[in-house]
């Protein structure tokens, strides 16, 4: 953020100190708990206030995501691709804001931040392109020993909780979020605890694009406080624990245990136990982040003579 | 339960009304001057009071107690043109076993159906203790001639209904014809008497969404009690707004003041639009604060609702298992066309 700016000729201008809110169901509510926390850059300088989401905010977000699921999963794959591509367009329009925030949050040089933002937008476009191609690659006509057509097709699993990566605040976030929603799932995202600003700006981009309210819900706050409630939530169908690596005061094994209660699909962080690490997000992605959040529907249809 | 369902036949409502009003002949003019002498409702004050009561924080054991009480106060309702015997039996099964995963879940007070479904519901509920309530008198509009309304009521009573939910003639009420409304309620109350002399309890639906003002709600409440209603009920559920907290507050004041005047208790039933546990708890707070704890009993206070039960069950599960529950863990009783 810029230091106190001089306005034209009339002395010092008062800082506009931002206090951001959550993004739930297409709206920007304050945390139910009324709390917020200070976000600082790598050197401890104040950047903004972010809402400190609570378990009840997570609960509301799951309700919103469940409500949006039927419409999003029921939209045609082609339509979902268009909607997601539009998000990339809006992100491109906010490029300089993303660059500033990635610089401040991750403490990287401007040129590096530019590269990260470009990769994040390209990553979004990459996943947007997959929406109407998944069924051809992951589905198929199965040979069976009988007079039937036997057809398998991938379908979204439902509401997915996503713990966003703690370090890579934009590229990492896009790399875990886009694969979840491109197939028709809806998502509740716990953003990076210490670096939430790019996620907040992404929520503003989402609100001004065509993504229906509730498809993506972003909660800022303490990962260790809210994540267990999402892991144990019976109305959440899958959980991506990527962001549990490096999260303060959190053992991802406990989350996996809680998630087992209703047989959630679980994506573990890379690495073992306390040594879990974030993957290298700059590498070219594949389908490995899409497939864990799919169910396979198989249809048997009698062959005519 | 403080009194049995089968009360003695009502005292002659007209004679008692004459006594209360201090007139020798019950006329529309006498009713008008009595009802219009009731103090007006301060709309702003009433809504502020209701909003204030809605901010109480109910947690842990008090919340658990409130949820169980609210479940036991539900009139589980299906009033659709598409109702079938199968759907009514399904609803009755749900009333008997509201949450199969937690068998200690209390049962709702009653199942509320149209008159032609009473026998089906009665048969399905058996000896479970869940009562059968039936809407009658050309529900929901009430636009039929009196013989039709009375026949409707008698049919439901003879089919075994424990409770009758009647609608008042809002057209007559709004045009100031209070005597007609009074007579209709009194006659329907007589039609609630069974062959053996016992009575089905009569709930009088005022359809507050069509009464426009709180003053009218207060007058309709007093008129219904004067004419012999055992319960005053806000709405049919077919008109919006339905059961709001301020309207229920006005009605709770009416039953409280009626007991002060006559020594008799009358029940209150908000119906329609109450969908969440949070809403239900707000109503319970209001009952306790306005009418008093005597009304915190399924015999004297009911919720007319269908989806509320599932939300209460979800909250109950949340408290029992320590994690948020979801729609996959409650029975789906939404109207289905398949």
If DSSP codes are grouped into helix, strand and coil, which group holds residue A35? Answer: coil
| ipTM here | 0.87
CA pseudo-torsion sign B4, B5, B10, B13: positive
If DSSP codes are grouped into helix, strand and coil, which group holds residue B167? Answer: strand
Chain A residues touching residue B326 (CB < 8 angstroms):
62, 66, 233-236
| Active-site residue flag, B269 | yes
Confidence of residue B335 (pLDDT cuts 50, 70, 90): low
Q: Which of B55, B324, B328, B334 to mutate to test the interface with A (most CBs of A within 10 A)?
A: B324
CA pseudo-torsion sign B20, B26, B29, B31: positive
Measure the CA angle with vertex B316, ends B313 and B322; round to 5°. 130
- The domain covering B41-322 belongs, at the CATH homologous superfamily level, to Aldolase class I (3.20.20.70)
Partner-chain contact A234 B329, CB within 8 Å: yes
Chain A residues touching residue B324 (CB < 8 angstroms):
59, 62, 229, 232-235
The active-site residue, picked from B75, B152, B162, B165, is: B165
CA distances from B22 to A257, B25, B34, B44, B249 (A): 74, 9, 10, 33, 28
CB of B55 within 8 Å of a chain A CB? The answer is no
CB of B322 within 8 Å of a chain A CB? The answer is yes
The 10s digit of each residue's pLDDT in B175-214 is 999 999 999 999 999 999 999 999 999 999 999 999 999 9
CB of B323 within 8 Å of a chain A CB? The answer is yes
- Residue B141: which residues within 8 A CB-CB, separation 6 or more? B167
The 10s digit of each residue's pLDDT in A3-17 is 444 445 567 899 888
CB of B324 within 8 Å of a chain A CB? The answer is yes
pLDDT at residue A9, as a whole number: 55
Instruction: Give the minimum alpha-carbon distance from A55 to chain B in angstroms, rounded to a whole number.
Output: 10
- Burial label, B68 (beta-carbon count in 10 A; 0-12, 13-18, 19+): middle
CA distances from A260 to A159, A232, A266, A293, B326 (A): 15, 8, 8, 15, 15
CB of A169 within 8 Å of a chain B CB? The answer is no
Among the partner-chain residues A229, A235, A258, the one whose CB lies closest to the CB of B326 is A235
The active-site residue, picked from B131, B149, B203, B269, is: B269
Across A107-128, b (16+ Cβ under 10 Å) vs e yields: ebeeeebbbbbebbbebbbbbb
- Tell me the pLDDT of chain A averaged across its residues: 94
For chain A, the domains span 36-302
Partner-chain contact B324 A234, CB within 8 Å: yes
CB of A66 within 8 Å of a chain B CB? The answer is yes
Which CATH number fits the domain A36-302, given the four candidates 3.40.366.10, 3.40.50.2300, 3.40.50.300, 3.40.605.10?
3.40.605.10
pLDDT at residue B5, as a whole number: 44
Instruction: Give the minimum alpha-carbon distance from A303 to chain B in angstroms, rounded to a whole number.
Output: 27
- Average pLDDT of the segment spanning B246-274: 97
Search chain B and give the residue with CA nearest A60. B324
pLDDT at residue A275, as a whole number: 80
The 10s digit of each residue's pLDDT in A139-189 is 999 999 999 999 999 999 999 999 999 999 999 999 999 999 999 999 999
Neighbours of A91 (CB within 10 A): 23
- Tell me the pLDDT of chain B averaged across its residues: 93
Q: For residues B76 and B70, is the Cβ–Cβ distance under 8 A?
A: no
For chain B, the domains span 41-322
- CA distance linking residue A211 with residue A26, whole number of Å: 9
What is the secondary structure of A234-247 as a DSSP string?
TT--EEE-GGGTT-
Among the partner-chain residues A229, A234, A258, the one whose CB lies closest to the CB of B326 is A234
CB of A258 within 8 Å of a chain B CB? The answer is yes
CB of A67 within 8 Å of a chain B CB? The answer is no
Q: At what angle do helices B214-226 and B28-36 cross, to 10 degrees?
A: 130
Among the partner-chain residues A66, A234, A258, the one whose CB lies closest to the CB of B325 is A234
The 10s digit of each residue's pLDDT in B127-178 is 999 999 999 999 999 999 999 999 999 999 999 999 999 999 999 999 999 9
CB of B5 within 8 Å of a chain A CB? The answer is no
If DSSP codes are grouped into helix, strand and coil, which group holds residue B62? Answer: helix
- CA distance linking residue A23 with residue A31, whole number of Å: 10
CA pseudo-torsion sign A22, A27, A31, A35: positive
pLDDT at residue B334, as a whole number: 62
- CA distance linking residue B324 with residue A237, whole number of Å: 13
Partner-chain contact B327 A235, CB within 8 Å: yes
pLDDT at residue A304, as a whole number: 79
CB of A232 within 8 Å of a chain B CB? The answer is yes
Confidence of residue A270 (pLDDT cuts 50, 70, 90): confident
- Counting residues of chain A whose pLDDT is more than 90, the rounded percentage is 89
Partner-chain contact B324 A261, CB within 8 Å: no
What six digits make up the tokens of B301?
A: 């206070």
Q: Answer yes or no: is pLDDT of A273 > 80.
A: no
Q: Answer yes or no: is pLDDT of A28 > 90.
A: yes
Name the nearest CA neighbour of A39 among A83, A115, A101, A114.
A101
Among the partner-chain residues A229, A232, A235, the one whose CB lies closest to the CB of B328 is A235
Partner-chain contact A62 B322, CB within 8 Å: no
| Active-site residue flag, B233 | yes
The 10s digit of each residue's pLDDT in A45-101 is 999 999 999 999 999 999 999 999 999 999 999 999 999 999 999 999 999 999 999
pLDDT at residue B6, as a whole number: 41
Partner-chain contact A59 B324, CB within 8 Å: yes
Partner-chain contact A229 B327, CB within 8 Å: no
pLDDT at residue B180, as a whole number: 96
- CA distance linking residue A40 with residue A57, whole number of Å: 23
Chain A residues touching residue B329 (CB < 8 angstroms):
234
pLDDT at residue A271, as a whole number: 78
If DSSP codes are grouped into helix, strand and coil, which group holds residue A266? Answer: strand
Can you list the pairs that B213-217 forms with residues at least 24 positions away whose Cβ atoms lie under 8 Å? B213/B41, B213/B43, B214/B41, B214/B43, B214/B46, B214/B246, B214/B247, B214/B250, B215/B38, B215/B40, B215/B41, B216/B173, B216/B174, B217/B41, B217/B247, B217/B250, B217/B251
- Residue A173: in which H helix or E strand, if any? helix A171-182
- Average pLDDT of the segment spanning A290-298: 97
pLDDT at residue A15, as a whole number: 86
- Residue A209: which residues within 8 A CB-CB, separation 6 or more? A83, A86, A87, A89, A90
Chain B residues touching residue A233 (CB < 8 angstroms):
323-324, 326
Q: Is the peptide bond before B140 cis (omega within 30 degrees of 0)?
A: yes
- CA distance linking residue A244 with residue A246, whole number of Å: 6
Search chain A and give the residue with CA nearest B329. A234
CB of A62 within 8 Å of a chain B CB? The answer is yes
Partner-chain contact A232 B322, CB within 8 Å: yes
Chain B residues touching residue A186 (CB < 8 angstroms):
none
Name the nearest CA neighbour of A216 among A89, A62, A101.
A62
Q: Which of B320, B323, B329 to mutate to test the interface with A (most CBs of A within 10 A)?
A: B323
Q: Is the peptide bond before B98 cis (omega within 30 degrees of 0)?
A: no
Confidence of residue B12 (pLDDT cuts 50, 70, 90): confident
Size of interface A-B (CB pairs under 8 A): 28
B10 versus B112: the higher-pLDDT residue is B112
Chain A residues touching residue B322 (CB < 8 angstroms):
232
Neighbours of A178 (CB within 10 A): 25
Instruction: Give the minimum alpha-carbon distance from B313 to chain A in angstroms, rounded to a whole number.
Output: 14
């Amino acid at each position: 953020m810029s230091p106190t700016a001089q306005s034209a000729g009339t002395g010092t201008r008062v800082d506009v100190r931002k206090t951001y809110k959550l993004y739930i169901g297409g709206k920007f509510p304050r945390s139910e708990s009324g709390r917020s926390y200070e976000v600082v850059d790598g050197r401890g300088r104040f950047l903004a206030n972010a809402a400190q989401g609570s378990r009840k905010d997570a609960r509301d977000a799951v309700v919103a995501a469940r409500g949006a699921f039927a419409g999003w999963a029921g939209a045609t794959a082609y339509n979902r691709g268009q909607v997601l591509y539009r998000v990339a367009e809006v992100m491109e329009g906010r490029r300089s804001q993303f660059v500033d925030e990635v610089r401040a949050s991750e403490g990287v040089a401007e040129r590096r931040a530019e590269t990260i933002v470009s990769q994040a937008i390209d990553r979004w476009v990459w996943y947007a392109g997959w929406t109407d191609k998944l069924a051809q690659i992951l589905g198929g006509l199965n040979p069976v020993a009988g007079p039937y057509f036997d057809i398998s097709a991938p379908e979204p699993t439902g509401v997915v909780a996503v713990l966003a990566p703690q370090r890579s605040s934009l590229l990492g976030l896009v790399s875990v979020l886009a694969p979840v929603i491109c197939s028709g799932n809806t998502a509740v995202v716990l953003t990076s605890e210490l670096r939430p600003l790019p996620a907040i700006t992404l929520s503003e981009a989402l609100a001004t694009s065509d993504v229906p309210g509730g498809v993506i819900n972003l909660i800022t706050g303490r990962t260790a406080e809210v994540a267990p409630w999402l892991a144990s939530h019976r109305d959440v169908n899958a959980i991506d624990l990527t962001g549990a690596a490096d999260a303060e005061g959190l053992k991802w094994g406990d989350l996996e245990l809680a998630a087992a209660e209703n047989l959630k699909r679980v994506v573990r962080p890379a690495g073992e136990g306390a040594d879990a690490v974030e993957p290298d997000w700059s590498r070219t992605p594949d389908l490995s982040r899409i497939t864990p959040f799919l169910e396979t529907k198989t249809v048997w249809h009698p062959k005519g003579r | 339960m403080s009194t049995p369902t089968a009360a003695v036949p009502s005292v002659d409502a007209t004679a008692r009304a004459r006594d209360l009003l201090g007139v020798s002949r019950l006329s529309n003019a006498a009713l008008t001057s009595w009802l219009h002498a009731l103090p007006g409702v301060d709309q702003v004050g009433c809504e502020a009071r209701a909003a204030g009561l809605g901010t109480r924080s109910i947690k842990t054991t008090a919340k658990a107690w409130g949820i169980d009480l609210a479940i036991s106060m539900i009139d589980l309702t299906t009033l659709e043109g598409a109702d079938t015997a199968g759907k009514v039996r399904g609803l009755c099964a749900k009333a008997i076993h509201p949450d199969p995963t937690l068998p200690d879940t209390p049962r709702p007070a009653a199942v509320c159906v149209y008159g032609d479904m009473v026998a089906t519901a009665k048969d399905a509920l058996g000896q479970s203790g869940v009562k059968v309530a039936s809407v009658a008198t050309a529900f929901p509009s009430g636009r039929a001639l009196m013989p039709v309304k009375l026949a409707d009521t008698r049919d439901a009573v003879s089919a075994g209904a424990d409770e009758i939910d009647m609608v008042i003639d809002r057209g007559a009420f709004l045009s100031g014809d209070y005597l007609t409304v009074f007579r209709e309620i009194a006659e329907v109350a007589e039609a609630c008497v069974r062959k053996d002399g016992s009575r089905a309890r009569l709930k009088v639906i005022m359809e507050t969404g069509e009464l426009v003002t709180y003053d009218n709600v207060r007058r309709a409440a007093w008129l219904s009690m004067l004419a012999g209603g055992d319960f005053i009920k806000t709405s049919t559920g077919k008109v919006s707004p339905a059961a709001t907290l301020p309207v229920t507050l006005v009605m709770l004041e009416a039953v409280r003041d009626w007991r002060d005047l006559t020594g008799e208790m009358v029940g209150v039933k908000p119906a329609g639009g109450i969908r969440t546990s949070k809403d239900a708890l707000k109503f319970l707070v209001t009952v306790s604060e306005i009418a008093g704890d005597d009304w915190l009993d399924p015999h004297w206070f009911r919720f007319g609702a269908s989806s509320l039960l599932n939300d209460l069950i979800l909250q109950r599960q949340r408290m029992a298992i320590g994690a948020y529950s979801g729609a996959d863990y409650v029975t789906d009783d939404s109207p289905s066309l398949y």
